[in-house]
Amino acid sequence: MASKTKHYAAELVGKTVARVRQISAQEAADFMWYEDGNPTCVIEFTDGTYALVAADPELNGTGFLDIGKYGA
């Protein structure tokens, strides 16, 4: 899956994950997300940054984080 262009999330390489959690009801309301059936997750890093799984770059809704393993 190598690419010749830098991926927008390349800045996450080398960060240490501190916590992975479901988005809170208040955070979802702040984004005006009212999709109870599709909760999303927040990945928090030790340096204070986070990654939020959303439907698109404009944060128009929640998203799903697919987790897999190469060669499995």
Of 65, 63, 62, 64, which Cα lies nearest the Cα of 33?
A: 62
Mean pLDDT of 31-59: 88
Predicted local confidence at residue 7, as pLDDT: 82
Predicted local confidence at residue 43, as pLDDT: 95
pLDDT per residue over 49-65, tens digit each?
999 989 898 988 888 88
pTM: 0.78
Sign of CA dihedral 52, 58, 26, 37: negative
CA distance 14 to 31: 28
pLDDT per residue over 7-28, tens digit each?
888 999 999 999 999 988 898 8
